C-alpha cells in the first residue's frame, strides 16, 4: 500500500529508498538461484526515488509497507542452506535519512523509531521464510520442518479454537453459558401460554371442611375458631380449567475485572415466590377480567463477581436476588424460585474429577419495624433465615457416561411457630406477641398448630367466643438433601438420564408434633366422635426420574420426554418452596408425572405434562392435572 503525506513530503523519499533496497535484494537472489546467497554488494543500477510529494507506484496490494515484491513471489534458492543475509547498504542510507528528517523536524523521533521497528519486523519474517524454504529443499527423508508462525497468527488460532470449544460446551451443556456471548450485555426473555385443567370431581375427596387453607388464614385477619363459619378451604371437589400467561425478561451486564450486574422482571398473580403464572380473565381485589392489565414484578436484581474460567476452575460471588445456586430437583425447589441473600459457589477440576459447591445465607422474613402495630410497646423481632451449604462431585463412570453427586444441608432458622404469651384478644385487630412466627407464605401439606394462647375469661364467655387464632408450623426444618444424576450419551445426540433426590428433615419430632397438630391426622380411632386421630405425617421425601431426548431443542422436530415418581411426606421440607404444579403445590402427596417437549423452531416449542397425585396423611385427596404449553424465548 503506498504511503503519501501532504504534511511531510520527505516520507515519499523514505519510502522510495526502502523500495530500492528491497528490490535490490530480490534482484540479487534471482541472479544466483543455485548458489549460496552472497553478501549483497551495492547495486550497479541506480534507483531513482520518485519525485518529492509522490508515492512509488506499486501494482500488487500484497506488497509490504515499504515496497518490493511479496514474500511468496521471491525466488526460492535451490543450493545448500543459505547463510544469514547481512543488511544492505541501502539500509544504512535509509537510517541516516531518517536521522536527517528527524533533525529537520520532518518526522518526530517516535515516528521514525516506529518506521524502523515495523520495517525490521517485516524483514525478519521475510528472511525466516527464505531460510525455511531453502532448508526444506535439502531436508532429509525423515526430517520434519515446522514453518515459523508469527504471534498474530498464533493468537488468531487460539481465538478460533476457544470459540469452537465454547460452542461445543453450549451445545452439550457442560456448563451454563449464554447462547450468544457479548462483551457487554446478555439479554434473555420468554413468553409462555398455558392451558391447565385440574380434575377433582368424582375423585372421592373429603369435602366436609377438612382441607383448611392456612395460608389464607395467616395472610389475612385471624380466624375465629369459635364462630359458625368454615375457615378458608381448598377446592377439592370441582374441576377447574384456566388459561395462564408467563412473561419474563432480564439482562446481565459485564462491568470490569470480573464484575457483573443483573436483573429481570416477570408476571404473576401475586408476589408468591414459586409461580410467575398470570391467570387470564381472573378477578382480584374487586378488579380484573375484561382484558385488564397485568402486574409486573421484580424477579432478579444482583451483583456478581467471577474469577477463573467458564470451562475450568472458577469462583462466583452473588449478592441480591438471583437464581437458585444449588443442584437439586423441583421436589425441593420450584423451577421459578429465586433466592434473596448472599452466596459463594465454585468449581474445581482435580484430574478427571470436578468438585463443586455452594454456601450462602438467605433472609426469608424480617419483622415489621412497628410490630405490634396497635401497641405502644413493641415486640422483639422474629427474623427468619435459610442457611445452606452443598458439596458435589462429577466424574466419568465410563466413556460417554457421567455421574454427578451432591449433598446439601439446609437450616431454616426460626421458621417454626412459637406459642404466645397468654392474652385475651377482644377483636380481630388485637395482636399476639408471636403472631409474626406464622409463615408469611405457604402452599399446603405442612402440619400446623395454633400459636395464640387465649385465656378463657368472662370477656370471651370462658373460651366459647372470640377465639381469634393464627397458625404456625408444628416442626423446625433442618433438611439433608441428597442428589444424584447419571447422563448416558451412547446414543448421541440423544441422552438418557436418571435422576434421584432424597430429603429428610433431621429436626422432626413426631411425638412433639402429635401433641399440637390440628391437621394431617387420621380419623377418630373409635369412629364415634368428632375427635381426630393420631398425627400421620412424616419427615422424608424422594423422587426418581428418567429422561430421554435431545439435550438441546434447537431444530424443528427435536424432542425431550420424562417420567417421574415422587413421595413427599407432610413435613419433609417447607411446602412454601416446592413445585407449585404437582398436586396443586406443596407436600403430603405421592404420584406420577409424565412430560414432553417438542421444538417447532430453534426458539419456539410445545410442551405437555400430566400429573396424578394422592395425599399420604389425613383425609383422602386425589388430583389429576394436565397442562399444555406454547413457549417462545430469546
Grid cell 524483514 in the structure block, residue: 123
Most distant CA pair in the chain, distance: 129
* 3-class DSSP assignment, residue 457: coil
- For 203-252, the pLDDT digits (tens) are 999 988 889 999 999 999 999 999 889 999 999 999 999 999 999 999 99
State mean pLDDT over 579-603.
96
Q: Residue 5: its pLDDT value, please?
A: 42
Q: Residue 538: its pLDDT value, please?
A: 97
CA distances from 360 to 344, 442, 584 (A): 6, 22, 29
Q: Residue 148: its pLDDT value, please?
A: 61
Helices (H), 427-584: 510-514
* 3-class DSSP assignment, residue 321: strand
Distance, CA of 7 to CA of 409 (rounded, Å): 73
The one-character DSSP state at 233 is B
Q: Residue 286: its pLDDT value, please?
A: 56
Question: What is the grid cell recorded at 354?
Answer: 470436578
- For 29-70, the pLDDT digits (tens) are 444 444 344 444 444 444 455 544 444 444 444 343 344 455
Q: What is the pTM of this model?
A: 0.72
Distance, CA of 460 to CA of 441 (rounded, Å): 30
Non-local CB neighbours of 105 within 8 Å, separated by 6+ positions: none
> Does the N-terminal peptide bond of residue 372 adopt cis geometry, omega within 30 degrees of 0?
yes
Distance, CA of 473 to CA of 382 (rounded, Å): 14
Question: What is the grid cell recorded at 517?
Answer: 397438630
Grid cell 429436626 in the structure block, residue: 507
Lowest mean pLDDT across 57-66, 80-89, 417-426 = 57-66
Q: Residue 31: its pLDDT value, please?
A: 44
Q: 371 or 288, which is more confident? A: 371
Distance, CA of 26 to CA of 115 (rounded, Å): 21
Question: What is the grid cell recorded at 480?
Answer: 439433608
Non-local CB neighbours of 121 within 8 Å, separated by 6+ positions: none
Q: 115 or 450, which is more confident? A: 450
Q: Report the chain's mean pLDDT, rounded to a whole number.
A: 83
* 3-class DSSP assignment, residue 404: strand
Nearest to 316 by CA among 304, 298, 325: 304
Q: 498 or 95, which is more confident? A: 498
DSSP-assigned states of every residue in 13-54: HHHHHHHHHHHHHHHHHHH-TTSPPPPPPPPSS--PPPPTT-
- For 451-476, the pLDDT digits (tens) are 999 999 999 999 999 999 999 999 99
State mean pLDDT over 527-543.
85
Non-local CB neighbours of 197 within 8 Å, separated by 6+ positions: 239, 240, 241, 242, 625, 626, 627
CATH superfamily label, 182-633: Porin (2.40.160.10)
Distance, CA of 309 to CA of 292 (rounded, Å): 47
List the domain boundaries for the chain: 10-148, 182-633
| pLDDT at 566 exceeding the cut of 80 | yes
Most confident of 165-174, 237-246, 516-525: 237-246
Non-local CB neighbours of 15 within 8 Å, separated by 6+ positions: 2, 3, 55, 56, 66, 67
State mean pLDDT over 326-336.
96
For residue 339, the surrounding DSSP H or E stretch is strand 338-350
Amino acid at each position: 500500500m503506498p504511503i503519501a503525506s501532504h504534511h511531510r513530503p520527505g516520507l515519499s523519499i523514505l519510502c522510495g529508498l526502502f523500495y530500492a533496497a528491497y528490490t535490490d535484494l530480490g534482484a540479487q537472489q534471482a541472479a544466483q538461484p543455485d548458489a549460496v546467497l552472497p553478501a549483497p554488494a551495492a547495486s550497479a543500477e541506480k534507483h531513482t526515488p520518485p519525485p518529492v510529494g509522490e508515492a512509488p507506484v506499486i501494482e500488487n496490494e500484497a506488497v509490504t509497507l515499504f515496497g518490493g515484491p511479496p514474500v511468496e513471489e521471491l525466488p526460492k534458492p535451490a543450493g545448500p542452506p543459505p547463510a544469514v543475509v547481512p543488511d544492505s547498504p541501502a539500509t544504512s542510507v535509509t537510517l541516516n535519512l531518517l536521522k536527517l528528517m528527524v533533525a529537520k523536524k520532518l518526522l518526530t523521533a517516535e515516528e521514525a523509531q516506529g518506521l524502523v521497528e515495523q520495517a525490521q519486523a517485516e524483514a525478519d519474517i521475510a528472511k525466516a521464510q527464505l531460510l525455511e524454504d531453502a532448508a526444506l529443499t535439502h531436508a532429509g527423508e525423515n526430517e520434519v520442518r515446522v514453518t515459523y508462525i508469527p504471534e498474530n497468527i498464533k493468537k488468531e488460532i487460539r481465538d478460533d479454537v476457544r470459540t469452537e470449544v465454547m460452542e461445543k460446551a453450549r451445545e452439550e451443556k457442560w456448563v451454563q453459558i449464554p447462547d450468544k456471548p457479548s462483551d457487554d450485555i446478555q439479554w434473555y426473555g420468554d413468553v409462555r401460554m398455558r392451558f391447565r385443567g385440574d380434575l377433582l370431581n368424582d375423585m372421592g375427596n373429603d369435602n366436609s371442611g377438612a382441607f383448611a387453607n392456612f395460608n389464607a388464614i395467616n395472610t389475612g385477619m385471624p380466624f375465629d375458631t369459635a364462630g359458625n363459619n368454615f375457615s378458608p378451604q381448598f377446592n377439592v371437589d370441582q374441576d377447574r380449567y384456566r388459561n395462564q400467561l408467563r412473561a419474563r425478561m432480564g439482562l446481565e451486564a459485564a462491568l470490569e475485572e470480573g464484575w457483573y450486574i443483573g436483573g429481570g422482571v416477570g408476571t404473576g398473580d401475586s408476589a408468591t415466590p414459586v409461580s410467575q403464572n398470570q391467570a387470564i380473565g381472573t378477578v382480584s381485589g374487586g378488579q380484573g377480567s375484561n382484558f385488564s392489565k397485568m402486574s409486573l414484578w421484580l424477579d432478579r436484581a444482583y451483583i456478581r463477581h467471577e474469577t477463573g474460567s467458564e470451562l475450568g476452575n472458577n469462583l462466583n460471588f452473588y449478592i441480591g436476588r438471583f437464581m437458585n445456586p444449588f443442584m437439586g430437583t423441583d421436589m425441593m425447589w420450584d423451577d421459578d424460585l429465586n433466592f434473596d441473600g448472599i452466596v459463594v459457589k465454585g468449581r474445581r477440576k482435580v484430574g478427571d474429577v470436578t468438585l463443586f459447591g455452594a454456601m450462602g445465607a438467605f433472609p426469608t422474613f424480617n419483622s415489621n419495624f412497628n410490630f405490634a402495630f396497635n401497641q405502644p410497646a413493641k415486640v422483639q423481632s422474629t427474623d427468619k433465615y435459610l442457611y445452606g451449604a452443598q458439596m458435589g462431585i462429577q466424574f466419568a463412570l465410563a466413556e460417554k457416561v457421567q455421574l454427578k453427586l451432591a449433598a446439601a444441608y439446609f437450616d431454616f432458622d426460626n421458621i417454626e411457630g412459637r406459642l404466645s404469651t397468654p392474652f385475651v384478644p377482644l377483636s380481630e385487630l388485637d395482636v399476639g406477641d408471636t403472631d409474626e412466627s406464622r409463615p408469611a407464605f405457604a402452599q399446603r401439606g405442612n402440619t400446623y398448630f395454633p400459636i395464640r394462647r387465649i385465656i378463657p375469661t368472662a370477656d370471651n364467655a370462658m373460651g366459647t367466643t372470640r377465639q381469634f387464632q393464627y397458625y404456625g408450623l408444628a416442626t423446625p426444618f433442618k433438611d439433608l438433601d441428597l442428589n444424584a444424576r447419571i447422563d448416558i450419551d451412547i446414543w448421541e445426540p440423544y441422552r438418557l438420564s436418571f435422576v434421584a433426590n432424597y430429603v429428610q428433615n433431621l429436626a422432626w419430632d413426631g411425638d412433639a408434633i402429635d401433641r399440637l397438630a390440628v391437621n394431617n391426622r387420621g380419623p377418630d380411632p373409635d369412629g364415634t366422635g368428632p375427635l381426630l386421630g393420631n398425627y400421620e405425617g412424616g419427615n422424608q421425601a424422594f423422587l426418581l426420574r428418567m429422561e430421554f431426548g435431545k439435550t438441546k431443542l434447537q431444530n424443528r422436530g427435536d424432542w425431550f420426554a420424562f417420567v417421574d415418581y415422587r413421595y413427599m411426606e407432610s413435613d419433609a421440607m417447607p411446602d412454601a418452596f416446592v413445585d407449585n404444579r404437582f398436586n396443586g403445590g406443596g407436600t403430603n402427596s405421592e404420584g406420577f408425572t409424565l412430560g414432553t417437549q417438542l421444538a417447532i423452531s430453534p426458539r419456539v416449542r410445545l410442551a405437555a405434562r400430566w400429573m396424578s397425585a394422592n395425599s399420604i396423611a389425613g383425609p383422602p385427596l386425589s388430583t389429576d392435572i394436565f397442562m399444555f404449553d406454547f413457549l417462545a424465548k430469546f
